[in-house]
Amino acid sequence: MSLQTELETIKDNGLRQIEAATDQKELNQIKVQLLGKKGSITQTLRGIAKLPVEERPTAGSLANQIRDELTTALETKLSALETASLNQKLAAEKIDVTLPGDQIPFGHPHVIQKIIDEIEDIFIGMGYQVLSGPEVEEEHYNFEMMNLPKDHPARDMQDTFYITKEILMRTHTSPMQARALETHDFSQGPLKMISPGVVFRRDTDDPTHSHQFHQVEGIVIDKHITMADLKGTLTAMTHALFGDKFQVRLRPSYFPFTEPSVEADITCMNCGGKGCAVCKGSGWIEVLGAGMVHPNVLKMAGVNPHEYGGFAFGVGPDRFAMLKYGVNDIRDFYLNNLKFLTQFD
Ligand code: FA5
């Protein structure tokens, strides 16, 4: 067989093999067989040296032409195989974006925090500032500055967790009254402040008492503030939280840091005021303590009680949450039972 015929045969067989190749690995093997160092084209090219001199240029140029044709055919096939494999991969990895995704559970504010947020919004709307204070408090602020000197019998009203003799877990948010009074600059206007937070008492837990619960303290100090302002403010808060049907009733009470002192009841949610087991037949539920700030509290904080006066109150948002959502046991709020807590989402 002449060299030319040999080259044509290699080309025809090579093109057929290239065409029939089904994957890149196979194509690579064909490439090596045809164009590699020991490949058929290379071997044949070696034979050129044995040809008569005048035949060598024609044979050499044919060999180069065939090598180029095979190289082009290999590249074209390689690109076709790559496209086919990419299409196959895309088809296999296709996702249906219309399918519903996996539900990722999200956290949400605790129900008591929601009530506190609502109370904050109401008072911010009435021009109050919101302050927060230490839960680990000095006895000085928790008691002394609230007109409860050492050995005052009213200290027994709030059983206390002591850390040291002078440091305790605050039993109420009222120390924030003293802290705000001390720092407020009355030349800039009246003091109108609320302070929400956690408080701690050595109370025995029962359906309406927890040893750790929340309070929102409120205080307004200016000239000419009266008890009517207190009642109006508490009524505005109650209407905003529960609706206009709910009334506020003030009953005389005693707190060492207010004079006069009151406890405020609101219309029982459960019976609408008719009287039921929840309100023990009275039609009212006690939700907060309040009163006109005692002159001693003002004096100790450096405020002249002859010039300034006002009211203060301490709300229990845990009790509000119980009323609002018909929860009969305060302890449910603290058990971290997600089935219970997620119903307030
Ligand atoms: C006080 O703590 C006063 N500092 C409130 C106050 C502030 C009076 C400013 C005057 C001026 P009392 O102990 O009554 O008061 O608590 C206030 C409210 O906290 C109660 O009305 C009730 O809603 C809530 N509360 C009291 N003890 C508990 C408890 N163990 N568990 C849950 N809520 C409670």
> How many other C-beta atoms are found inside a 10 Å radius of the C-beta of residue 105?
7
Q: Please state, in angstroms and rounded to a whole number, the distance separating the CA atoms of residues 178 and 340.
A: 38
Q: Which atom of ligand 1 is nearest to the CA of 311?
A: 11
- Ligand 1 pocket residue status of 147, Cβ below 6 Å: no
State the alpha helices, DSSP H only, in the chain.
Answer: 3-20, 24-35, 40-47, 56-92, 111-125, 139-142, 175-183, 227-242, 295-300, 317-325, 338-341
- Ligand 1 pocket residue status of 259, Cβ below 6 Å: no
- Ligand 1 pocket residue status of 112, Cβ below 6 Å: no
Give the pLDDT of residue 53. 85
* pLDDT block averages, 10 residues each, the chain of length 345: 83 91 91 88 82 84 88 92 92 90 88 96 98 97 94 80 94 98 97 98 88 97 97 96 92 96 91 85 92 98 98 95 88 92 87
- Ligand 1 pocket residue status of 266, Cβ below 6 Å: no
Measured over the CA atoms of residue 172, residue 173, residue 176 and residue 177, the dihedral's sign is negative
Residue of the nearest CA to atom 32 in ligand 1? 209
Residue of the nearest CA to atom 2 in ligand 1? 172
User: What is the residue extent of each domain of the chain?
Assistant: 3-93, 111-344
Residue of the nearest CA to atom 9 in ligand 1? 313
Q: Which CATH architecture has domain 111-344?
A: 2-Layer Sandwich (3.30)
CA 220 to chain centroid: 32
Element (H, E) at 144: none
Q: Tell whether pTM > 0.85.
A: no
Give the pLDDT of residue 330. 92
Give the pLDDT of residue 291. 98
Say how many Å lie between the CA of residue 173 and the centre of ligand 1: 9
CA 76 to chain centroid: 56
Give the pLDDT of residue 115. 95
- Ligand 1 pocket residue status of 210, Cβ below 6 Å: yes
Give the pLDDT of residue 39. 85
